[in-house]
A and B are shown apart, each in its own frame.
Chain A
Amino acid sequence: MTFTGFVSQGQAKLALILALLDPGLGGVVLMGEKGSGKSTLARLSQHLLPPHTPFIEVPLNLTLEALLGSLDFAAALKTGRPVAEPGLLSRAHGGVLLVDDIHLMPPELLSLIVSAQEQGRVMVAREGIQCQHSARFCVVATLTPEEGSLSPHVLDRLGLGVHMDRLGLRERLHLLRRHLLTPERPDPRGDRLLAARLLRVREALPRVTLPETTRDYLLAACLAARVSGHRAELALERAARAYAAWRGASFVLPAHVDRVLPLVLTHRQRLPAVPPPPEDGTRERPGDSAPSKPRPPQPAGNLEPTHSPPEGNPGALGAGAPEDRILPAGEPFAVRRLAWRRDRLERRTAGRRTVTRHAGTGGHYVRSTPKKPGQDVALDATLRAAAPWQVLRGRRDRVIIRDSDLRYKERERRMGHLVLFVVDCSGSMGARKRITATKGAILSLLRDCYQKRDQVALIVFRRTQAEVVLPPTASVELASRRLRDLPVGGRTPLAAGLLAAYRLCLQVRRREPTRRLLLVLVSDGRANQGLSGLPVWEELRRLAALIREMPLVDVLVVDTEDKSQPLRTDLARELAAALDAPCLTLEDLRAEQLTAWVQARLAGGRPTAPAGRGQAGLPAGQ
């Protein structure tokens, strides 16, 4: 197959072209469901490169040493001195680094990749090697959102992001025809022409100027989209410049900015663009018609219900409907910190800070370590350690290995906790302004989780769908900002929320099998929006059964229904029973009680009924 012959996907192709035009852009991530052709397209981008340009694929079996480079033990044995061997990052210099299924990559290796890309070099300081290689490359990555997500930190470092299009009928037929051609005889001329144009445009790129007016326009667009940090602006500037050059323009025009804006924002912006909450906090917001920037197609990590009613609006969680309101979070209570401090001590004694688990032979071999005398010897690293000494040790034929040379495999098995908040943001929640108090409680929990270095994630559901507004992260900043700005309104797709939580749990479980999860469901339980056409509560019961059976997952239901109302339903209580989880009413939900409960759970203890305070025995310290 050829790049030009690949059916449709104009956005994705444009993103790839721009990323290849300007490696400083920070690469591109192609997102799409299984079987949407993203890996194929990513590989085809190789055709656009000049001959002999490195095109390095990063396999899933990668080790840290292979990525960074290490000592070449064969050469070291011959010469008797340390000889460095380049790793993947430096081999990709001047070309492309293809990271297929980037969500399956161990996070540690991933952060090395993005930081090398950003700095344009890789520093190696291990195993007696101390050197620095140039590593200017363009990352081309693929991501299946339903299988896993990336931390916002990593996503932000990837310059462009694009969702693969769903094809129309004619395109689908065309695509099928193409697949039936055997043997395939691709015509390489189209790709060659495109590659030649790319080379020409790359030369012209430095001559394209960015007028001040366009720069203002560009900044306004970023501000309107409320992206955090300045990477988005930089990426937008570069992308607009590259696009202008690609179109043969000498100046970057606002139209160029508009064209590339979705490519820059799609993977960065998770929350709908909404103005900051007003002072009194409860005033109705008449939608966000003010920032008229084109909305990105779909926020990343979006879990669209499969049988969503055809009422149209694809980004139903987005702002724009008149019923949306943003309610402020109540202030966090001061007592909470005491409670958490006490727990922190317990935690240390429980030894939860260990990064790796018992040195089993399962898991992915990520790196080697001289520590941890275990059974799992890393032969490659051991040989590298022994190699430079062979002459001194008088080697004849066999390699002489001493105890001090032994290195062990460190496999990826992380421990830690993840507190997953699943928050109901439907209209019924906002009606009584209960969400304000709830938000306050969650905020304080978030803060404490951060102090404990627990990870948190945030899923909200309203209208027709649930969205992972915050994939697992340690950034409380981000989490609390997201929470503060959550709009409230619409129906209650509780099943979608539970499904999103279930899937996220599975994802986390897959990467980190020993991770303990705490799922905090905050809702009034008045589910009225289903997923599959089954009765709503039948769906909920089945989902609850699935969640209940997951190991290492604790659940807490926070019932937000106003119990003073005559029409109380206690539906949340029913759901909690189905989940086999304790249920706290909002009346109970004095923040300190909630935190006490969560804390007990995280400490591995029995959930004490949320009764009293006074457990915060230790002084607050700093």
Chain B
Amino acid sequence: MSRRRQKATPTPAAGFRVFPFTALVGQEEMKLGLLLNVIDPGVGGLLILGEKGTGKSTAVRALAALLPHLPVVKGCPFRCDPAGDLLCSACQEKAARTRRLPVATQPMQVVELPLGVTEDRLVGTLDVEHALMRGEKRFEPGLLAAANRNFLYVDEVNLLEDHIVDLLLDAAAMGRNIVEREGISFVHPARFILVGTMNPEEGELRPQLLDRFGLAVRVHALPDKAQRLEILRRRAAYDAHPEDFLRQWQPEEERLKHRLLLARELVPAVAVSDAILEMVVDLTTRLSLDGHRPEIVTLKGARALAAFRGQAAVTPAEVREVFPLAVNHRLKRLPFQEVAEARRQLEAVMEEFFPPAGASRSGVFAP
């Protein structure tokens, strides 16, 4: 298989036509994973496991285009949040000088990390031109800077060099990028929604790194003929008359956008009972999972889903939907275990906790 072509980085969402998110057919789990991350970024990113051509990058792009523009400090290359608690070194100085930081708005973007990326392009480096021409030190921001408050899309994360993945996930975990190299000493915020993809057949990711992704979903080409036909139909309609197609889907997109914004606002108000907490702890204990991340992610995800549905409290239904996403990539605990065994274990536990009472699984967009 050939190396991926490099897509433009970053992709501006505004001014470009992007296929509407709501018009995507199927892949409900992937959509759910993305939406939960948008509602509560504390969920900690999404890893998409599966083959190519299943609409992964389209979905991320579509979702970014749908989201409202962000308020940023005007002219800041790190897109610092004027109301945020963490500013870059430059904005901190500016904030100390002037009382109020100038504000502008920017659309949310999808920043891609190409496979061959080097350390200095990722974390940033000495501005070569400035150094040679002026003899002064200046920090040239890297991809982590561009990714701040955006989506960071890492295609085939398992094929990245190991130390690059370390740096990436380190920054993701801390929410900022500390640079101490090449005569540069700089800190800037690096909070992004990390979306990684990998084809498990092409090599594994260390368990410690898998664990850093909040949620994981498996995607497959849709088995249903009717759905496949629908994809072709919509794609053809979009390609023939994009403007018309977008107009047609505009109301749906607006509706989703408002639901997302509302959900974000509601998240802190959603109640989580002790019974739910205990259920989650029981679930992870039963699967003997390491650390606390699976529990925390399940709860945050379930709460985000409840908020999305406009519920005042998390119910077992949300836990049931989110839990598999939170543990998909954490199941395999020994290198020689087969994924199928681990999944069987998960299924057994799920059946025990949520006996199939004829209740069919609801889609993401169900109220």
- A residues apposed to B, CB below 8 Å: 33-37, 39, 57-63, 65-67, 70, 72-74, 77-78, 85, 88, 100-101, 104, 144, 146-147, 167, 169, 172-173, 175-177, 179-180, 182-183, 306-307, 361-365, 378-380, 383-384, 387, 390, 395, 397-399, 401, 499, 502-503, 506, 510, 531-532, 539, 542-543, 545-546
Q: Which residues of B contact A57 (CB under 8 A)?
A: 178
Please tell me if the beta carbons of B183 and A365 are within 8 angstroms of each other in the complex.
no
User: Within the complex, what minimum Cβ distance (angstroms) separates A370 from chain B?
Assistant: 16
With A and B bound together, what is the CA distance between A383 and B119 in angstroms?
20
**Segment at the interface with A among B3-11, B133-141, B247-255:** B133-141
B218 beta carbon closer than 8 Å to chain A? no
Closest to A173 in B: B277
Give CA–CA (A502, B336) in the complex, Å.
Answer: 10
Q: A362 near B161 (CB under 8 angstroms)?
A: yes
A147 touches B206 (CB 8 A): yes
Chain B residues contacting A539 (CB-CB under 8 Å) are: 336
Q: Which of B48-56, B73-81, B120-128 contacts A (4 or more CB under 8 A)?
A: B120-128
Contact of B211 among A34, A67, A77, A546 (CB under 8 A): A34
Q: How far is the CA of A78 from the CA of B136 in the complex (A)?
A: 9
Known contacts A182-B42, A182-B268; A104/B292 CB under 8 A: no
Q: Which 10 A-B pairs have the closest CB atoms?
A: A35-B291, A542-B336, A380-B182, A77-B135, A35-B293, A66-B180, A59-B178, A63-B181, A380-B183, A74-B137
Interface residues of B in 270-299 (CB under 8 A from A): 272, 274, 277-278, 280-281, 288, 290-296, 299
Query: B337 contacts the other chain (Cβ, under 8 Å)?
Result: yes
In angstroms, Cα B58 to Cα A366, docked, is: 38
Among B179, B182, B272, B299, which residue has its beta carbon within 8 angstroms of that of A59? B179
The answer to whether the Cβ of B61 comes within 8 Å of any Cβ in the partner chain is no
For A59, give the chain B residue with the smallest CB separation.
Answer: B178
Q: Chain A contacts of B183 at CB under 8 A?
A: 65-66, 70, 72-73, 85, 380, 383-384
B185 touching A74, Cβ below 8 Å: no
16 other A-B residue contacts (CB within 8 Å) besides A73-B131, A384-B183, A499-B335: A35-B290, A57-B178, A61-B179, A66-B180, A70-B183, A73-B137, A101-B166, A144-B208, A146-B207, A169-B281, A180-B300, A364-B119, A380-B126, A380-B183, A383-B131, A499-B334
Residues of B316-360 at the interface with A, using a CB-CB cut-off of 8 Å, are 333-337
Q: B208 — which chain A residues lie within 8 A by C-beta? A: 34, 144, 146-147
**Is B118 located at the chain interface by the 8 A CB criterion?**
yes
A505 to B334, CA, bound (A): 15
Flag if A179 contacts B300 (CB, 8 Å): yes
Contact A60/B137 with A176-B299, A380-B126, A502-B335 known, Cβ cut-off 8 Å: no
Q: Check B299 against A543 for contact (C-beta < 8 Å).
A: no
Number of interface residues of B (CB under 8 A): 59
B167 on interface, CB distance cutoff 8 Å: yes
B128: which A residues are within 8 A, CB to CB? 379
B277-A62 in contact (CB<8A): no
Type the 1/0 row for B199-219, where 1 means its CB is closer than 8 Å to any CB of A: 000000011100100000000
Q: Are B336's CB and A60's CB within 8 A?
A: no
What is the minimal beta-carbon distance from B59 to any residue of chain A, in angstroms?
Answer: 26
Indicate with 1 or 0, residue by residue over B178-192, a CB within 8 angstroms of chain A CB atoms. Answer: 111111110000000
Query: Are the CB atoms of B180 and A173 closer together than 8 Å?
Result: no
Tell me the minimal C-beta distance from A87 to chain B in angstroms. Answer: 8
B28 interface residue (CB < 8 Å to A): no
Residues of B within 8 A of A60 (CB): 163, 166-167, 170
**B123-173 CB contacts (< 8 Å) to partner A:** 123, 126, 128, 131-137, 161-163, 166-167, 170, 173
Least distance between B23 CB and chain A CB atoms (Å): 32
Q: Closest A-chain residue to B134, C-beta based?
A: A397
State A172–B336 Cα separation when bound (angstroms).
Answer: 30
Q: Are A36 and B182 in contact (CB under 8 A)?
A: no
Q: Is the CB of B280 within 8 A of A397?
A: no
Nearest-neighbour CB distance to chain A for B297, whole angstroms, equals 10
Q: Which residues of A contact B268 (CB under 8 A)?
A: 182-183
A296 to B220, CA, bound (A): 48
C-alpha gap A163/B132 in the complex (Å): 49
Q: Which residue of B lies closest to A57 (CB)?
A: B178
Instruction: Let me know if B281 and A173 touch, CB within 8 A.
Output: yes
Q: Which of A85, A180, A510 contacts B303 (CB 8 A)?
A: A180
User: Distance in Å from the Cβ of A398 to the closest Cβ of chain B?
Assistant: 6
Interchain residue pairs with CB less than 8 A apart (16): A34-B208, A34-B290, A62-B181, A63-B180, A100-B170, A144-B208, A147-B206, A173-B277, A176-B280, A179-B299, A378-B182, A379-B126, A379-B182, A390-B135, A397-B133, A499-B334
For B335, what are the chain A residues with a Cβ–Cβ distance below 8 Å?
A: 499, 502-503, 543, 546
Cβ–Cβ contact B162 & A510, under 8 A: yes
Give the complex CA separation of A442 and B182 in angstroms: 45
Q: Does B267 contact A (CB under 8 A)?
A: yes
Asked if residues A543 and B336 are in contact (CB atoms below 8 Å), the reply is yes
Return the chain B residue nearest A178 by Cβ: B296
Instruction: Report the minimum CB–CB distance from B3 to chain A (whole Å).
Output: 16
Complex CA distance for A179 and B297, rounded to whole angstroms:
10
Q: When the two chains form their complex, are residues B281 and A361 in contact, meaning their CB atoms are under 8 A apart?
A: no
Most buried by A among B137, B303, B336: B336
Q: How far is the CB of A550 from chain B (nearest CB, A)?
A: 11
Bound complex: CA A60 to CA B174 (Å): 12
Residue of A nearest to B333 (CB): A306
Give complex CA distance A502, B133 in Å. 51
Closest to B185 in A: A66
Q: Which of A36, A63, A65, A307 is B292 in contact with, Cβ under 8 Å?
A: A36
A366, chain B: closest CB distance, angstroms: 10
Let me know if B334 and A532 touch, CB within 8 A: yes
A35-B293, A60-B166 given; A88·B118 CB < 8 A: no
In the bound complex, how far is the Cα of B334 from the Cα of A397, in angstroms? 60
| A58, A78, A85, A380: most-surrounded residue (chain B CB, <10 A) | A380
Residues of chain A contacted by B135 (CB below 8 angstroms): 73-74, 77-78, 383, 387, 390, 395, 399
Contact flag A35-B292 (CB < 8 Å), given A59-B178, A380-B126: yes
Q: How far is the CA of A160 from the CA of B296 in the complex (A)?
A: 30
Chain B residues contacting A179 (CB-CB under 8 Å) are 296, 299-300
Residues in B90-120 with C-beta less than 8 Å from chain A: 118-120
User: How many angstroms from the CA of A365 to the CA of B180 in the assembled complex?
Assistant: 12
Question: Which residues from chain A contact B296 at a C-beta distance below 8 Å?
Answer: 176, 179
Residues of B within 8 A of A378 (CB): 182
Q: Please determine whether B133 and A398 come into contact, CB atoms closer than 8 angstroms.
A: yes
CA distance A365 to B290 in the complex (A): 33
Give bound CA distance, A85 to B259, whole Å.
52
When distances are taken between beta carbons in the complex, the residues of chain B under 8 Å from A182 are: 40, 42, 267-268
When C-beta atoms are compared, the residue in chain B nearest to A412 turns out to be B163
**Which chain B residues lie closer than 8 Å to A146 at the CB level?**
207-208
With A182-B268, A510-B162 already in contact, the answer to whether A62 and B288 are too (CB < 8 A) is no
B334: nearest residue on chain A (CB-CB)? A532
Q: Which residues of A contact B336 (CB under 8 A)?
A: 499, 532, 539, 542-543, 545-546
User: In the bound complex, do residue A177 and residue B118 qualify as a contact, i.e. CB atoms below 8 Å apart?
Assistant: no
B280 proximity list for chain A (CB < 8 A): 176
Q: Which residues of B sit under 8 angstroms from A167, Cβ to Cβ?
A: 292
Are the CB atoms of B163 and A364 closer together than 8 Å? yes
Q: What mask results when residues 209 to 241 of chain B are scored 1 for a CB within 8 Å of chain A, else 0?
A: 001000000000000000000000000000000
Q: How far is the CA of A84 from the CA of B40 in the complex (A)?
A: 46
- Cα separation A384 to B183 with both chains bound (whole Å): 9
Contact in complex: A176, B180 (CB < 8 Å)? no
Contact indicator A306/B334 (Cβ below 8 Å): yes
State in angstroms the CA–CA spacing of A52 and B2 once bound together.
Answer: 53
How many angstroms from the CA of A169 to the CA of B285 in the assembled complex?
10
Q: Which residue of the partner chain A has the closest CB to B274?
A: A173
> Chain B nearest CB: distance from A151 CB in Å?
19
CB distance from B83 to the nearest CB of A (A): 12
Q: Tell me if B137 and A61 are in contact (CB < 8 A).
A: no
